Amino acid sequence: MVEVICDTSFLIHLSTRKIKNLDSVNTEIGQIQFVVPSAVLSELEKLSKTEEKKQDAIKTLELAQNLKTIEMPGKFADQAIIEHVRKHGGITATMDKELKNKIKSLNGSVISFSNDKIVLES
């Protein structure tokens, strides 16, 4: 089972959109488990207090309750994820272009969405 670290943008997308190939991802990529860094949960808590993002953030927090949480030190989720990949490698799920590029520069893999399908970028 490979753990895939989810950032905030990916989780919001996952919880608010209909993803076409979600059920077949394990067959395409192998057995994966989405995990949520504690820093991402903090970001979602903050977003749930803003009028603009409130509904999406609450829906995403509900989804996150069904996922494994991992402790990652750091105030900012992106920085915590980058440090984790730098030390341990791994796969990161994100929609954030800047984060994707940093992860790839550290030889990490990236999962994101394209046309509401999950895709693996390397």
The answer, yes or no, to whether residue 105 has pLDDT greater than 90, is yes
DSSP symbol at 52: T
Which pLDDT belongs to residue 20? 80
Q: Is the pLDDT of residue 27 over 70?
A: no
- Domain 2-121: state its class: alpha beta
The Cα–Cα gap between 15 and 17 comes to: 6
Q: Rounded to whole angstroms, how far apart are CA atoms 54 and 65?
A: 17
Name the average pLDDT for the chain.
90
**Across 46-54, average pLDDT:** 95
Domain ranges of the chain: 2-121
Q: Is the pLDDT score of 13 beyond 70?
A: yes
Query: pLDDT at residue 96 above 80?
Result: yes
pLDDT exceeds 80 at position 11: yes
The arithmetic mean of pLDDT across residues 19-26, rounded, is: 73
| Chain-centroid distance, C-alpha 95 | 8
Task: Identify the residue whose tokens are 């994101």.
Answer: 112
What is the token pair recorded at 16? 């608010």
pLDDT for res 68 = 95
pLDDT at 31 over 70: yes
Cα 9 to the center of its chain, rounded Å = 7
Side-chain-side CA neighbours of 33 within 13 Å: the count stands at 10
Model confidence at 110, pLDDT cuts 50, 70, 90, reads very high
What's the pLDDT at 26? Answer: 67
pLDDT, residue 46, reads 94
